Structure 1
């Protein structure tokens, strides 16, 4: 299993357009970036690849990394930074199965799969495959399981991707607070590599209108507001899941420049052989 981090940033990416903060300026000076979130997973055994989420930066990411176009894809939720790159399928793919959860979202009255199908009905190449969370599905030779996470007000999913022959396992937290249900944690547990949402360090929770939540015994917030884990929350999740290796993703440019590019925060273009 070869994992390429196509996009490791949050909704605006780093550097952010029009921003002159120290973090964005440092990124420009060092010629590094975090585009909007997307992960490419190759299966050498089957010569197939799987894409997790369609970043708005899809075209640039694939040209930059020279990875093969995916044979199938998964969409974790319907926020634009994880979905709007799907339009790049037009005139590029002859056909593409796109997997998404089949559970109805009370907020929208549709499942993620239904929203994708209705919003992108003009893409003849796309076949949406409604997928039941917490049930393993064979995709590109991998056993893939969507798991519910906590990203209010919309439903959102993390996932585990396992190679049934080698036992290699990649887990992605999805966009989530620290309050991931226990059933989902059990599926995500014991990965060779965990990609965990860590939008800001806990010290910045004071800047959020509602502060931080899910504090540890020392009062350190594991959730920033309601939707995303802090760096400290993501690392606590990694410990909870007994992850062999962890990379922090969905990173905002609000990290202080001294911390923004330090381990284990990921950058675009990183690759891992599991």
Structure 2
């Protein structure tokens, strides 16, 4: 299993358009970036690959990192930075299977799968597969499982990708607060690689209109507002899940420049081989 981090940024990415903050300037000087979120998972045994979330930066990411076009995709939720790149399928794919949760979202009255099918009804190559959370499906030779997480007000899902031959396991938290349900934690547990949402460091919670949530024993917030984990929350979750290796993703440009590129914060283009 070869994992390529195509996009490791939040909604605006780093550098952010029109921003001259120290972190964005440092990214430009270093020649690094964090485009909108997307992860490519390649199964070398069968020559197929899976894309997790369709970033609006899809075209640029695939040209830049030269990974194979995916044979299938998973959509975790319907926020634009995880979904709107699907329009790039036009004239690029002959066929593409897209897996998304079949649970009805109380906020929208539709499931993620229904939203994808409705919003991209004009894309003939797209074949949407409604998928039940916690029930693995075989995709590109991997066992892929959607797990509910906590990203109010919309439903959102983490993803587990396991190789049934080698036993390699990749877990993605999805966009989530620290309040991941216990059953989802059990499914995400013990990965070889964990990709964890960590939008900002915990000390920035004081600047959020509603502050932080889910404080640890040390009083440090593990959730920024209600929707995303802090760096400290993501690392606490990684420890609880027993992750062998952790990379923090969905990162905002609000990290101070002196911390923004320190371990274990990821940048675009990183690759990992899980055996």
TM-score normalised by structure 1 residue count: 1.00
Q: Is 2:159 aligned against 1:159?
A: yes
Number of matched pairs: 274
Q: Offset of 1:59 from its aligned partner?
A: 0.1
- Please give the residue correspondences for 1:129-140 in structure 2 after superposition, counting only pairs within 5 Å: 129-140=129-140
- Please give the residue correspondences for 1:113-192 in structure 2 after superposition, counting only pairs within 5 Å: 113-192=113-192
Equivalent residue of 1:272, what SS?
Answer: strand
CA distance in 2, matches of 1:91, 1:71: 15
Q: Deviations over 1:41-63 (max 9, x none)?
A: 00011110000000000000000
Which residue is 1:242 aligned to?
A: 242
CA distance in 2, matches of 1:181, 1:139: 25
Q: Offset of 1:145 from its aligned partner?
A: 0.4
CA distance in 2, matches of 1:247, 1:218: 23
CA distance in 2, matches of 1:13, 1:113: 26
Equivalent residue of 1:215, what SS?
Answer: coil
Equivalent residue of 2:222, what SS?
Answer: strand
Structure 2: give runs of 5+ residues left out of the alignment.
Answer: none
Which residue is 2:72 aligned to?
A: 72
Equivalent residue of 1:129, what SS?
Answer: strand
TM-score normalised by structure 2 residue count: 0.99
| CA RMSD in angstroms, aligned pairs only | 0.3
Which residue is 1:93 aligned to?
A: 93
Equivalent residue of 2:266, what SS?
Answer: coil
CA distance in 2, matches of 1:2, 1:114: 30
Q: Is 2:6 aligned against 1:6?
A: yes
CA distance in 2, matches of 1:162, 1:259: 32
Which residue is 1:264 aligned to?
A: 264
Runs of at least 4 residues off by over 3 Å: none
Q: Is 2:16 aligned against 1:26?
A: no
